[in-house]
Structure 1
């Protein structure tokens, strides 16, 4: 069955669409909503194959739909319905196409007109642009290197792919991304929250801070008081727009399982859970993994990262961590004081030219997370040093021995 959802205010148009749908060959149905809000609610529960929208002829109404398309990730084709008595300007139609309308149906709506629209939409290819992919980096306590993993991964993606990459510092109370990247942002996520009702992809790209690697950064608020303005609804809106503005989005989340963090998980294609080989930390990690199970973020959508790993007397091995959490460890990053030195200098350790040690391990992890998040593009292999690949592979074997 082909399902249509029509957003109309006119009773006569509703009658026309019902008649046109019933006259179509095949199995078709049409449902009706009177406004955008009810349409969004309906689509959350039962996504239509085609969305029909009565156009008022004003640019303001198109702005509203553009915002809805970006924030609520409307993926089905949208067809504008034009009043036969009105003569919309070419500029308005061009603007509607730019916003995301795929075709137009002129009143009075007929089965023939509707069938023609269906055929054209079926023949046309989806737009070349696609929704961005989001990686959430999470932990249940501070100090385990969650922000270090998020920032280094984001810098690596920005430097080694041709995709637009955004780092969102959603560690609202304790955000350190700007400091670790030696940036002085003019606007933060708190400023974006204040403009959420008019936020769109273009605006978001303009307010982010650019790092020398090409990475865009949306920094955390400067004070905890400013952070209080960013709730779960606001975060969901910001990330929805972010996924329409950027190809890859990395979110450094706050180390707490609250409503805002759950909103981040809901938007994420993949979740990287960072922990240490310390029993109290692992206890919190176990609780987070259980919560992810309840949220249907299964193992294929998450990676467990054992960071700051130290193989000393009394510490747990990677194998013991796996056994305790009943979850495979995807990567082991050993403790290295050079990470602290890089943080103090504001230069991510992944930017160093070393192909071994913590830099190589971070690059391997970033490449693996890029694969898992579902990106179509893989980072190119640097080949300036013919023996580099051998050294990387050798170091990776050493890193993974603890896991196997």
Structure 2
């Protein structure tokens, strides 16, 4: 199980919901992303999008609802462990509790909790789920995201060339998601003209599955598949955090590697992306206003409990010119070491203008090409049986995190530097 497994609680009782939330937040050795639903219909929609590791479902007078729910979960989220929460005296009629439990187990429910229960009992349940997951791990791809506090730092260039480099090694098994929704450039930099974008994906959200998503992606000659950004800001407004969660949840079940280029605003969509990211690469450059914004971004990632060991800092377009900051100065300002240094290379600009990614032409002997080759090799190591890490604690299906309109780091950096 991951650093932050996702847990879905299904109950109409606010007291039970709050108790589950409190108990799950009391674990000392792990933390969870918790989402709540009031009924099974709402829970199915949440599970379809989030693919939780555990679903805690209150059982009331009849066992039929949880049996139906378990069968639906087997179809839409087979890796979810459905757990029945039983109250004393909850069942009426002539059927014994033992017979009801047998019927429910046959429907696909994997475990039970008797309410009221203790933290120790809940911890034991999580341990059992962990052990079962290790026996039959889900085959999930690695999701890596490129984030920054502002545009113009080369984030998209790095994301696109990383995706192309991976696709050359694993053709047909790498997906690039251009989630820089309002300013996406991936299609242009790959010289592609997609007929469908994330806007069309959003319109098909209710019936979206792995097959349909692969059909909506456009193929590049390198073997890469691309889900392109919307064509303009109006279309971008149709793509929300639920769409992005759905896309990434399906993508990591369809591809070995999913590379995500993001928009430099920290909002609900950014959180949804990070929620399913195996590793986040923070891209910056040696310019004071940019570094101030990068420091704020790192602070926010820490605030939302994104694991520091799954974040790496990329210093892009580094040049040794008079007045420029040295890497160790930048590391001191950010409060953490620089993991990757990509030197300035004018050929990168030329490649962007021609629509031929430099990853397809570089030799990798020195400079930018050598660092990119090393970087791509390192990214391949993120592949494994991975699960969501999580950065937030949703309640009642809504994220109690960043404001929907987001925080623009570029503006924040400029204000602080004045």
8 Å CA contact 1:136–1:270 kept in 2: the answer is yes
Q: 2:316 aligns with which of 294, 307, 310?
A: 307
Per the TM alignment, residue 45 of structure 1 is displaced from its structure 2 partner at its CA by 9.6
Alpha-carbon separation, structure 2, partners of 1:109 and 1:229: 44
Pairwise CA RMSD: 4.0
Partner residue of 1:76?
81
8 Å CA contact 1:277–1:306 kept in 2: the answer is yes
8 Å CA contact 2:53–2:80 kept in 1: the answer is no
Q: 2:234 aligns with which of 207, 217, 225?
A: 225
Instruction: Describe the shift of the 1:141–1:172 C-alpha distance in structure 2 as closer, same or farther (beyond 3 A).
Output: same
1:175-254, aligned counterparts within 5 Å? 175-254=184-263
TM-score, structure 2 length as denominator? 0.65
8 Å CA contact 2:142–2:258 kept in 1: the answer is yes
Partner residue of 1:271?
280
Larger Rg computed on CA atoms: 1
Answer yes or no: is 1:330 the counterpart of 2:339. yes
Instruction: Describe the shift of the 1:216–1:319 C-alpha distance in structure 2 as closer, same or farther (beyond 3 A).
Output: same
Partner residue of 1:368?
378
Per the TM alignment, residue 7 of structure 1 is displaced from its structure 2 partner at its CA by 8.9
Unaligned runs of 5+ in 2: 1-7, 12-36, 85-97, 112-128, 387-418
Partner residue of 1:261?
270
Alpha-carbon separation, structure 1, partners of 2:51 and 2:218: 33
Deviation per residue, 1:131-159 (Å, 9 max, x gap): 22211100111110000110111111111
8 Å CA contact 1:7–1:54 kept in 2: the answer is no
Unaligned runs of 5+ in 1: 9-31, 80-106, 378-404
Per the TM alignment, residue 50 of structure 1 is displaced from its structure 2 partner at its CA by 11
TM-score, structure 1 length as denominator? 0.68
1:305 counterpart SS class: strand
1:233 counterpart SS class: helix
Partner residue of 2:296?
287
Partner residue of 2:42?
37
Per the TM alignment, residue 230 of structure 1 is displaced from its structure 2 partner at its CA by 0.9
Partner residue of 2:169?
160
Alpha-carbon separation, structure 2, partners of 1:302 and 1:6: 29
Number of residue-to-residue matches in the alignment: 316
Alpha-carbon separation, structure 2, partners of 1:238 and 1:124: 23
Higher relative contact order (CA 8 A, sep 6+): 2
Instruction: Describe the shift of the 1:144–1:214 C-alpha distance in structure 2 as closer, same or farther (beyond 3 A).
Output: same
Alpha-carbon separation, structure 2, partners of 1:328 and 1:233: 34
2:347 counterpart SS class: helix
1:192 counterpart SS class: helix
Partner residue of 1:346?
355
Alpha-carbon separation, structure 2, partners of 1:138 and 1:123: 34
Per the TM alignment, residue 113 of structure 1 is displaced from its structure 2 partner at its CA by 9.4
Deviation per residue, 1:230-279 (Å, 9 max, x gap): 12222222222222222211110001112211221112111000000110
8 Å CA contact 1:307–1:332 kept in 2: the answer is yes
Answer yes or no: is 1:47 the counterpart of 2:54. yes
Partner residue of 1:358?
368
Instruction: Describe the shift of the 1:51–1:338 C-alpha distance in structure 2 as closer, same or farther (beyond 3 A).
Output: farther
Partner residue of 2:120?
none
Alpha-carbon separation, structure 2, partners of 1:41 and 1:198: 14
Deviation per residue, 1:158-186 (Å, 9 max, x gap): 11136711100000111000011111111
8 Å CA contact 2:137–2:385 kept in 1: the answer is no
